[in-house]
Amino acid sequence: MMVGFMASRTGRWTRMLAGASLVVGGLSTGSIKGKLMALGGLVPLLAGAFDVCLFGPLFGLPLKGEAIRRKVGLIGEDSLLPHPPMPLTERPTLLH
């Protein structure tokens, strides 16, 4: 399902990278059309970063990515990174 992919970790990264590409590409042109393209690129960039799937309601699913993942059975993909970072006190060092 398309919305399930878009709410997944990989889908969120894809949306953020596509949005960032539109922003950078649009701003690099220096034209009004480029600035509008950059403004449009903010939508997928921010939607992926804030875990919102704008197509969810169109398919009868919630807007929030966490609720979509719960509904389609994608457990454990809440974080953008595969594993949460370790606290500084638990990180291995070469001195031990």
The one-letter amino acid code at 77 reads: E
End-to-end CA distance of the chain: 48
Check if the beta carbon of residue 77 is closer than 8 Å to that of residue 9: yes
Q: Name the residue range of residue 30's domain.
A: 14-72
Residue 61 lies in a domain: yes
Residue 7 lies in a domain: no
Tell me the two tokens of residue 72. 């389609």
Nearest to 24 by CA among 9, 7, 37, 11: 37
Whether the pLDDT of residue 66 is over 70: the answer is yes
Whether the pLDDT of residue 7 is over 90: the answer is no
Residue 85 lies in a domain: no
**Mean confidence (pLDDT) of the chain:** 85
Check if the beta carbon of residue 55 is closer than 8 Å to that of residue 15: no
Residue 24 lies in a domain: yes
Which residues, 6+ apart, have CB-to-CB distance to 32 below 8 Å?
none
Predicted confidence band of residue 3 (pLDDT cuts 50, 70, 90): confident
Averaged pLDDT, 26-45: 95
Whether the pLDDT of residue 44 is over 80: the answer is yes
Residue 55 lies in a domain: yes
Residue 22 lies in a domain: yes
**How many domains does the chain contain in total?**
1
The pTM is what? 0.76
Residue 38 lies in a domain: yes
Whether the pLDDT of residue 91 is over 60: the answer is no
Nearest to 42 by CA among 57, 30, 29, 25: 25
